[in-house]
Structure 1
Amino acid sequence: MGRVSGSGPTPVPGRLPETAAVLAVRRGVREWVAGQGGRMPVVVGLSGGADSLALVAAAVVEAGDVTAVVVDHRLQDGSGEVARRAAAQALGLGCVDAVVVPVEVGREGGVEAAARAARYAALDAVRDGRPVLLGHTLDDQAETVLLGLGRGSGGRSIQGMAAWNAPWGRPLLGVRRAQTVRMCADLGIEPWDDPHNTDPGYTRVRVRAEVLPLLEDVLGGGVAQALARTADQLREDGAVLDALADELRHSATLPPAPGGLDDTERPRLSIEILLTAPAALRRRAVRAWLADLGVSGVKNAHLQAVDELVSGWRGQGGVAVGGGSRAHRLVVTREHGTLTVRAQPRIDAT
C-alpha cells in the first residue's frame, strides 16, 4: 500500500461550480449522507474513472473527511501509474488521504469476478470502520438488473444494488453516467478511460453498448430509469419477504444433531414447520439458514433441490451446497423430519 503526494492547491470545500451536473451529483451524496445520520469520515473506492472522481469531489464537500483508496489490480501495463495519477487527483480535490493498494487477482469465476473480489477485499481491509462509497450510477443499476433478468437468477438478482449494504454505500444510484462525465469536464479534471469498459469480450460491455441503447430506441426511452425503479420496488418487496422468512426460520430451527463427520454442531430445520409456509418463504428461510452456517452463493437450482427434500420427498439423496473443506463437502440431507447439514467426504479427497 502506498500514499501519493498531491500537487497544486487544495480546493476550498463548497467551492465547486454550480453546474447542473455538479448539483445532481452533490444532491445524490448529500441525500445519502443525511440518510446515514449526517456527515462522517468515509472511504471512496477510486478507479480514476469519471464516476468515482465525481463521487470523490462531491463527497469532499458533502460527507466529511474523505480518504480515497485506489486498488491497483495490475492486470494492464501501466496500471501503477494510472493508480498514482488517480490518487493525486483525489488529493487535489481535497481528500485528507489517498492510498494505492496493489492486489493479486486470481482466476476463480473468471477475471472479472476475481478482480471484483480482490477489490472489495482490499477496500474492506483498509477502511478502518468507515463506510466505503462506490461510484455505481443509475446506468450501472440498469445493467445489473437487465443482466440478472436475462440470466433468470431469481428475484434477488434483479433487486440490483442497494444504496447502503454495510459497509458499502452507493450514493449515485440516482445519477446518470453522463452527469458524472459532465461534472469532471466542469471541474477541469480528466478521468481515465478503462479499455475494459469498451471491450466487447465482457458481457456487461455489450449490454451497455448494444442492448440498452436498442431497448431505449425500441421502447421510446426511459428504459434505464424504469429498470432502476423495478430494482427499488423489488428491494422493498424483498425486505418484507426476508422478514417473514426470518420468522419462519426461527420457528423451524431445532438443536443440532450429533454425529457430524467434522464434529461441527449445526442447527436443523423442522420440515413440519417449513411445510406450513409457501415455497417462496421456505426457500428464503433455507438460504438464510445456510448463510448462518457459512454457506454463501447458493444457486436457485440448489434451493429448488433442497425444497424438494421438504415438499417432494421420494427418498432422494442430499443436496451439495458448497462450502466445507478440502476433505469434506457440505450436503443438506433429510433426517428424521428435519433438514440437516452434514459434512461428507469428497470423492477426490486425498
Structure 2
Amino acid sequence: MRLALRGWLRRYHSHGRVCVALSGGADSLALTAAAVAEAESVDALIVDHRLQEGSDVVARAAADQALALGVRSARVLTVDVHGNGSLEAAARDARYEALDGSRGDAPVLLGHTLDDQAETVLLGLARGSGGRSIQGMQAFDDPWGRPLLGVRRGVTRAACEDLSITPWEDPHNTDDEFTRVRLRHEALPLLEEILAGGVAEALARTATQLREDGQVLDALAGAVLLRVVVDGEVEVDTLAESAGAIRRRVLRSWLLGSGAKALTDKQLRAVDALIADWRGQGGVAIGGGTPESRLVVVRRRGRLTVGFEDRRRV
C-alpha cells in the first residue's frame, strides 16, 4: 500500500497536502493509513449520503478512525441525493460535487482498486461505445487521484487486518440490484474460474493500453480539428482526408463544443456518415436540445453545421 502511494505521489503530487475520500470501507481506510505514512499532510473527507438509517453514525465512526490514523482533519460532508437517473449515478454525482467543493486546492485520493478497474472495463465493454468506454479510470484525472489501481482488493483488507482496523461493510456492496455488485460477485469470479485466473489484471492492462493509444489519437485529432473547423463549421472535404478513428474524434470534440450532450457511438457514426458515406441524407439529431427544439447536424455546401430544429416539424 505504501509503495503504491509513494509511486503515485512521486509521479503526480510530490509535495503538499492531499485529501482522502473516506467511506469507512477497507479500501479507503487502507488508503488513508498509507497516505498518512507517505504524504506531507492528509485531510479526510467523509460523505454522508443519508441513504441508509444510521449513516451519520457510520460517517462519524469513519472520521474517528481517520483521526486515530493521524490525519490532520476529518470532516463529514452531508449531501442530498436526487436526480432522474439511477440511484448509483445520483449518489456519485452528489459525492463528487461535495468532495470537489471541500478539497481546496488539494487533489482527492479515491480508493479504487485493480478490481474496481476490471469491473469498470467490463461495464464499458457491455455498453459497446468503442475504445473510449473501456479505457477504465485514470491514475490522475485532476483533481481525482487513484493510487491503488494496481492493488487488489484483498490487499486493502489485509492492510486493515495488520493495522487492527475494522472496516465498515456497506450493505449496498452485497445488493444484487446493482449491476456492479453482480459483476463483482458473479461475473468476474466465473471468468476467473473459466480462464484459470488473471482476468482482473488482464482487463486492467487492456484499459491502460487503450488509454495510451487513445491519448495519441486524441492528440492527432486535436491538430486536425484546428484545420477543419472554420467559423464553427466543419469543412467536409478537408476532414474526409483523415482516417476514421481520427475523423470521429474530431467530430466528437466539435459536437461536444457545440452543445451536444450524452453523445452516443450511434449518433457519432451517423454524423460521420455525412462525410464518409454521403448520399444526400438528412440531418442527424443529437442530444443537447430543449423540450421545444432538438439539436441537429446537417451538411450544406460542403460543411457540417449544428443548429436547433423545432420538434413540431419532425
- Shorter chain as denominator, the TM-score bin is over 0.9
* TM-aligned CA distance change 1:324 to 1:101, over 3 Å: farther
Q: Does 1:83 align with 2:48?
A: no
Q: Secondary structure at the match of 1:29?
A: helix
201-210 vs 103-112, which moves further: 103-112
* TM-aligned CA distance change 1:346 to 1:54, over 3 Å: farther
Q: Distance in 1 between matches of 2:200 and 2:28?
A: 20
Runs of 5+ consecutive residues of structure 2 not aligned to the other structure: none
1:162 — aligned with what?
Answer: 138
2:217 — aligned with what?
Answer: 241
2:258 — aligned with what?
Answer: 293
1:191 to 167, 170, 189: 167
1:11 — aligned with what?
Answer: none
By how many angstroms is 1:325 displaced?
A: 4.5
2:275 — aligned with what?
Answer: 310
Q: Distance in 2 between matches of 1:86 and 1:290?
A: 43
Could you tell me the percent identity over the aligned residues?
58
Given that 1:39 and 1:62 are in contact with CA atoms closer than 8 Å, whether structure 2 keeps it comes out as: no
1:67 — aligned with what?
Answer: 43
1:270 — aligned with what?
Answer: 235
Given that 1:294 and 1:323 are in contact with CA atoms closer than 8 Å, whether structure 2 keeps it comes out as: yes
Q: Please give the residue correspondences for 1:301-340 in structure 2 after superposition, counting only pairs within 5 Å.
A: 301-325=266-290, 327-340=292-305
By how many angstroms is 1:291 displaced?
A: 2.7
Q: Secondary structure at the match of 1:332?
A: strand
Matched residue count: 313
Given that 1:158 and 1:231 are in contact with CA atoms closer than 8 Å, whether structure 2 keeps it comes out as: yes
1:140 — aligned with what?
Answer: 116
Which digits, 9 at most, give the CA deviation of each residue in 1:217-255, with x for residues without a partner?
A: 111111111111111111111111111111111111101
Which digits, 9 at most, give the CA deviation of each residue in 1:11-66, with x for residues without a partner?
A: xxxxxxxxxxxxxx111111000001512211111111111111111111212211
Given that 1:68 and 1:87 are in contact with CA atoms closer than 8 Å, whether structure 2 keeps it comes out as: yes
Q: Distance in 2 between matches of 1:216 and 1:29?
A: 27
1:35 — aligned with what?
Answer: 11
By how many angstroms is 1:171 displaced?
A: 0.3
Q: Does 1:126 align with 2:126?
A: no
By how many angstroms is 1:295 displaced?
A: 3.2
1:227 — aligned with what?
Answer: 203
TM-score (structure 2 length as normaliser): 0.95
Q: Secondary structure at the match of 1:173?
A: coil
By how many angstroms is 1:344 displaced?
A: 3.0
Given that 2:287 and 2:294 are in contact with CA atoms closer than 8 Å, whether structure 1 keeps it comes out as: yes
Q: Which amino acid aligns with 1:139?
A: D
Q: Does 1:56 align with 2:48?
A: no
Aligned-residue Cα RMSD (Å) equals 1.7
Runs of 5+ consecutive residues of structure 1 not aligned to the other structure: 1-24, 256-266
* TM-aligned CA distance change 1:100 to 1:294, over 3 Å: farther
Whichever structure has more helix as a proportion of its residues is: 2
By how many angstroms is 1:336 displaced?
A: 2.1
2:92 to 113, 116, 120: 116
Q: Secondary structure at the match of 1:38?
A: coil
Q: Which amino acid aligns with 1:194?
A: D
Q: Distance in 1 between matches of 2:34 and 2:101?
A: 24
Given that 2:30 and 2:156 are in contact with CA atoms closer than 8 Å, whether structure 1 keeps it comes out as: yes
* TM-aligned CA distance change 1:346 to 1:167, over 3 Å: farther
1:19 — aligned with what?
Answer: none
By how many angstroms is 1:73 displaced?
A: 1.2
Given that 2:127 and 2:133 are in contact with CA atoms closer than 8 Å, whether structure 1 keeps it comes out as: no
Q: Secondary structure at the match of 1:185?
A: helix
* TM-aligned CA distance change 1:324 to 1:128, over 3 Å: farther
Q: Which amino acid aligns with 1:293?
A: S
Q: Distance in 1 between matches of 2:259 and 2:12?
A: 28
Q: Distance in 2 between matches of 1:31 and 1:178?
A: 20
